[in-house]
Amino acid sequence: MSLQTELTSPSRHPLAGQTMTGADMIIQVLAEQGVEVMFGYSGGAILPTWDALARFNIDQESKRRKPIELVVPANEQGAGFMAAGYARASGRVGVSMVTSGPGATNSVTPIRDCMADSVPIVLICGQVPRHAIGTDAFQEAPVFNIMSACAKRTFLVLDPEELEATVRTAFEIARSDRPGPVVLDIPKDVQNWTGTFRGEGLLELRGYRERMQALYGSQMPEAKSAAFFDILRKSQRPLIYAGGGVIKSDAARDLKRFATTFQIPVVTTLQGIGSFDTTHPLSLHMLGMHGTAFANYAVEDCDFLIAVGARFDDRVAGNVKQFAPNATNIAHIDIDAAEIGKVKQVTWSHVADSRSGLQDLIAAGSGFKKDFSPWLSHVAELRKNHPLNYDRECDFIQPHYVLECLNRITRGEAIICTGVGQHQMWAAQYLDYKNPRSFLTSGSMGTMGFGLPASIGAQFACPEKLVINVDGDGSLRMNIGELETVTNYNLKVKTLLFNNQGDGMVRQWQKMYFSERFCGTEKFLHRKDFVNAAKADGFEFAQRLSEKNRVESVLQEFVHFDGPAFLEVMIDPDACVFPMIGPGLGYKDIVTGPYITARTNEPAKPPDKNDLF
C-alpha cells in the first residue's frame, strides 16, 4: 500500500464497531497490516495479547483462513533478529512480541541494530499495569526511556482509546521515510481494557505526514537535474557509490538502468551488496575498510563520485579529508536530509528515496551522450591487476577457498546471512550476489550473534529460497540456542560455521596493531563441540570438515541436504581479511596483504590508537 493510499483511502474493517479487548485490537491491526509471521516469547505482562493471538488463529482456522504464524525463539534477542531478518529479506515490516522487563531489555540490541541499518520492525512489549509503573513492580523496566534512545519512535500507550491507532501508526512510521524500528510499550491493563474497535484511524502526526507527502510527491526540479548532467558532462571518471538505501527503496532495477545507460561503474557498501549484480561488468563490488583493492583504487581515481542511498560512514570514508581525493565533484541522493553534508561536503544533492531520485535522473538524461570508455578500460585493468587472492598452497583449509567452492554451487542466487567478524567480510568479498535482499548482515552495529536468528527470519520470509548462515565460532556462540529453533520449525536453513578457535577479527587487529598480545581472543581451551550440539538440537546433517580435499564434495552434500544442515569447517587460525584500510586512514594506506597485488609498495602508516574500532 502506498503512503498516499494509506493516508487518504483506508478501507473499513469488517469488525468495525464491535466490542473487544485491547489485546484483540492489537491482533486485528496486525492482521490488517498483512502480518503473516511474528516472532516472540511469552511472559506475564504480554499474556493477554498472546491469548488474543491464540483465539484469533483458532477462529481463522475454523474459517479456513491463514492464521498468523507464531515463531518462538530461545531468547528475545533471537526474536528481534528474526524479525529483522524477515524484514531485510522481504521488504515488509517484521514483528516481534515480548513481555515486560527482561523480555524488553533483551530486545534492546535488535532494536538498535535495526535503527542503525534502517530496518523496519515493530516490537510489541508488555508492560506492568499503569498503576504499578514506577513502583519497581515485578518485571518492570523503563522501556520508553531505554528504547527512545534506540528506536525510530517509541510509544508508551497510557490511553487505551488510542491503542488501536497507535499500533496502526507504528507500522506507518516503521515503513515510511527512512525505515526503522518502532517500539510499542503496552501496559497489561490496557491490553485487558474493553472498548469499541474502529477498524481505522491513525494518530495525529501532522508534521511527519506533511513531510512524507512532500517527500514522496515531489519530482527533481529541472534545474537540479540539468546541473547534475552538467557535472557528468565535464567528468572523465565518474563512479557510483551505492548504499543500503538502494535496496530499502527497491531501486536495484533503477540503479542497473542508470549505470548501464550512462556506462558508469558501481561500488557498493556492505549494506548495499546485492543492489547491483556483482557479476555485471560494471560492478567493482564493495568499497571501504575491507573492500576490494580495485574498488578502492577506483574511488581514489574517480573525479565524480555519485553517492546513492549511502551515508559516508567511517568504515567507508575512513579519513574523510582523504576520501575520494581526486573527486572534484560529489553528488548525493538520500532520503534523509540529515545525511547530506553530515560527513562529507558535496557539490550536488537531492533529498529523495533512491528509486525516485534515480528515475528522475534517468528521465532527465534521456538525451545525454558521453563516451567513458577510457575510464572503463582503466577500471577493467584495476580489476584484472588487483583481484582478491589468498594463500592457495597452505595445507590448512582457507575460508576464501571454501566460499569460492560454495559460490560455484549457489551462483549468486542464495540468501546469505552472516554473524560479525572475519567470516562476514569473507562472505561479502568471495560470494556473488545477483539480487537485492540476498546479503543480510549487521553493518553499523556489528552485532555478533545476528546471523543464525536472521537466517531463520529470512527463511520464513522466503521459504522457497536457499538460505545460508555463514558464521564464526565466536559469533555463533552468542545465539546458539536458536539452532533448536531451526529444527523445531524444520527450516531448511544451512549454517556454515568457520571455526578458527578464536575471535578472528579482533585477533587480526591484535596481530597488526597490538604486537600480537592476544588478550581474551584465543579459544583453544574452549570445549564446545558444535557438531554434537547441533545433533543434540535435532540436526540430521551435522558434520565437521578438516580435510582440504573434501571441501567441494562435502559442500555439495551440505547445500543439497533436504532439511536443516550444519557444517563446521576447521579453518586456518591465521587466515586474515585483506585488503584492509586501518581505522582513520585514507585509501592510499590500504594493506593488501601478501597475496593481493598492491598498486604501490609504500608501507601503510599505523593507525592512531584512538581510531581503533
pLDDT of residue 8: 43
Mean pLDDT of 117-143: 97
Cell of 203: 494518530
Please name the residue that has the C-alpha cell 557539490.
Answer: 347
Region of 343 please: left (phi>0), alpha (psi -120 to 50) or beta: alpha
Per residue in 589-605, pLDDT (tens digit) is 999 999 999 997 444 45
Type of residue at 444: S
User: Per-residue pLDDT for 9 more than 70?
Assistant: no
CA distance 585 to 556: 41
Mean pLDDT of 63-88: 97
> Do 505 and 494 touch, CB atoms closer than 8 A?
no
CA distance 486 to 266: 36
Q: How confident is the prediction for the chain on average, in pLDDT? A: 95
Cβ partners under 8 Å of residue 520, min gap 6: 503
Residue 516 confidence class, pLDDT cut points 50, 70, 90:
confident
Q: Dmax of the chain from CA atoms? A: 75
Q: How many CA atoms lie within 13 A of 116 on its CB side?
A: 14
| DSSP 8-state assignment for residue 602 | P
Q: Are strands 153-156 and 182-187 parallel, antiparallel or unpaired?
A: parallel
Cell of 221: 526540479
pLDDT of residue 604: 46
Type of residue at 63: K
User: Per-residue pLDDT for 612 more than 80?
Assistant: no
Looking at per-residue confidence, does 23 or 206 come out higher? 23
Q: Which residues of the chain are in CATH 3.40.50.970 domains? A: 3-215, 399-570
* pLDDT > 70 in the chain, percent: 96
* pLDDT > 90 in the chain, percent: 92
User: Per-residue pLDDT for 2 more than 50?
Assistant: no
Per residue in 373-420, pLDDT (tens digit) is 999 999 999 999 999 999 999 999 999 999 999 999 999 999 999 999
DSSP labels, 170-233: HHHHHHSSS---EEEEEEHHHHH-EEE--S------HHHHHHHHHHHH----HHHHHHHHHHHH
The CATH number of the domain covering residues in 219-385: 3.40.50.1220
Mean pLDDT of 491-506: 95
User: Per-residue pLDDT for 5 more than 60?
Assistant: no
Q: Tell me the residue length of the chain.
A: 613
DSSP labels, 19-72: EEEHHHHHHHHHHHTT--EEEE---GGGHHHHHHHHHHHHHHHHTT-PPPEEE-
- To which CATH superfamily is domain 399-570 assigned? Thiamin diphosphate (ThDP)-binding fold, Pyr/PP domains (3.40.50.970)
> Do 50 and 42 touch, CB atoms closer than 8 A?
yes
Per residue in 199-230, pLDDT (tens digit) is 999 999 999 999 998 888 889 999 999 999 99
CA distance 427 to 411: 13
User: Per-residue pLDDT for 12 more than 90?
Assistant: no
pTM score = 0.94
Mean pLDDT of 517-524: 86
pLDDT of residue 603: 43
For residue 10, which of 204, 203, 200, 210 has the smallest C-alpha distance?
200
Catalytic residues: 76, 138-139, 188, 505
For residue 263, which of 275, 281, 251 has the smallest C-alpha distance?
281
Per residue in 415-466, pLDDT (tens digit) is 999 999 999 999 999 999 999 999 999 999 999 999 999 999 999 999 999 9
CA distance 65 to 79: 25
Per residue in 25-66, pLDDT (tens digit) is 999 999 999 999 999 999 999 999 999 999 999 999 999 999
pLDDT of residue 436: 98
Residue 1 confidence class, pLDDT cut points 50, 70, 90:
very low
User: Per-residue pLDDT for 552 more than 90?
Assistant: yes
Region of 332 please: left (phi>0), alpha (psi -120 to 50) or beta: beta
CA distance 171 to 33: 8
Please name the residue that has the C-alpha cell 568499497.
Answer: 287
For residue 584, which of 561, 559, 558, 606 has the smallest C-alpha distance?
606
Residue 607 confidence class, pLDDT cut points 50, 70, 90:
low
Q: How many CA atoms lie within 13 A of 340 on its CB side?
A: 14
Q: Which residues of the chain are in CATH 3.40.50.1220 domains? A: 219-385
> Do 101 and 139 touch, CB atoms closer than 8 A?
yes
Cell of 498: 568457520
Mean pLDDT of 354-371: 96
Residue 94 confidence class, pLDDT cut points 50, 70, 90:
very high
Q: Are strands 329-334 and 304-308 parallel, antiparallel or unpaired?
A: parallel
CA distance 438 to 416: 6
Considering only the top CATH level, what class is 3-215?
A: alpha beta
| DSSP 8-state assignment for residue 536 | H
User: Per-residue pLDDT for 193 more than 70?
Assistant: yes
pLDDT of residue 613: 57
End-to-end Cα separation, the chain, in angstroms: 41
